[in-house]
């Protein structure tokens, strides 16, 4: 079984838990996920099966879209609702809608983020959450991420209360921490804050409408219809240029051959999906040391 199974991840499971459960249901080992979601977070989690595991990184690298909620008035150690409160500040005066919209708009484009201590980012071979659980603070790498779009999902004109919560929708690049984004929104408004809710509504080209629940998957297995619901590998590579190839060239590609770059190569330094008989069989790019040649990045069939 090869292809992409878009899962609607339930609350209370890690992404690894989801992979483990699908391995058991499908009775297959070659299963991988495409981007970690925290246990408290629900949403779109494309699962790669068989040969599709070779392109998991391409789905991970595609943009994501979330609906999140920020609660302003106190922050937590984990930057989400599950963590211990570490700072509080009562909101003394109402916050105007325009002030929130201006704050969100100021975050569009490339921003710098420092991953939270409770995260899976590795420092010196260990994940940050391993240090955090032992109470060890380590220097974390700041990195650039992109906020493609962000909008307020709340009709109020004035926000009042000792704490204030509102939801927002955000389209962003790989590696963006929405928890950290929520903290930043609070800081820009002058208060400690945390992320109080999060769901991923799309990952690459996959949306909630594509997704199956675990119940759907189990029922489809019993009915023998699951294969019809698994999406082709090409869906995960939607943003790569495609090149249709003939039988003669396909034979070389199947063997991972380095090929001459001829006049049909109009893709510059982009990676290109080679399509044979309506299926992607490899991904090629210009050879880094021999620009007159193209070389395989991935060969999916052999």
Residues that are catalytic: 38
What distance in Å separates the CA atoms of residue 94 and residue 107, rounded to the nearest whole number?
Answer: 22
Burial 60-87 (b: 16+ CB within 10 A, else e): bebbbbbbbbbbbbbbbbbbbeebeeee
* Nearest CA among 229, 227, 234 for reference residue 274: 234
What distance in Å separates the CA atoms of residue 121 and residue 137, rounded to the nearest whole number?
Answer: 14
R_g of the chain computed on alpha carbons: 22
């Amino acid at each position: 079984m090869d292809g992409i199974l878009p899962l609607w991840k339930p609350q209370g499971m890690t992404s690894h838990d989801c992979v483990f459960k699908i391995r058991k249901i499908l009775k297959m080992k070659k299963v991988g996920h495409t981007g970690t979601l925290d246990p408290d977070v629900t949403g779109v989690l494309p699962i790669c099966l068989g040969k599709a595991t070779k392109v998991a990184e391409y789905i991970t690298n595609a943009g994501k879209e979330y609906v999140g909620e920020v609660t302003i008035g106190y922050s937590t150690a984990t930057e989400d609702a599950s963590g211990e409160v570490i700072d509080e500040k009562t909101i003394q005066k109402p916050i105007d809608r325009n002030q929130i919209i201006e704050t969100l708009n100021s975050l569009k484009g490339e921003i710098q983020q420092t991953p939270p201590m409770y995260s899976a980012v590795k420092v010196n071979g260990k994940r940050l959450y391993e240090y955090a659980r032992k109470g060890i603070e380590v220097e974390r790498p700041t990195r650039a991420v992109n906020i493609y779009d962000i909008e307020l999902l709340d009709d109020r004109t004035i926000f009042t209360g000792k704490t204030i919560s509102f939801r927002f929708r955000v389209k962003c690049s790989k590696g963006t921490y929405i928890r950290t984004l929520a903290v930043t929104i609070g800081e820009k408004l002058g208060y400690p804050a945390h992320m109080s809710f999060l769901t991923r509504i799309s990952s690459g080209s996959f949306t909630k409408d594509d997704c199956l629940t675990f119940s759907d998957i189990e029922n489809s297995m019993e009915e023998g219809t699951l294969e019809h619901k698994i999406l082709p590998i090409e869906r995960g590579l939607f943003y790569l240029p495609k090149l249709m190839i003939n039988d003669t060239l396909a034979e070389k590609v199947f063997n991972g051959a380095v090929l001459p770059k001829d006049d049909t190569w109009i893709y510059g330094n982009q990676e290109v999906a080679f399509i044979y008989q309506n299926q992607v069989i490899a991904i090629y790019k210009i050879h880094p040391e021999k620009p007159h040649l193209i070389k395989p990045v991935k060969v999916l069939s052999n």
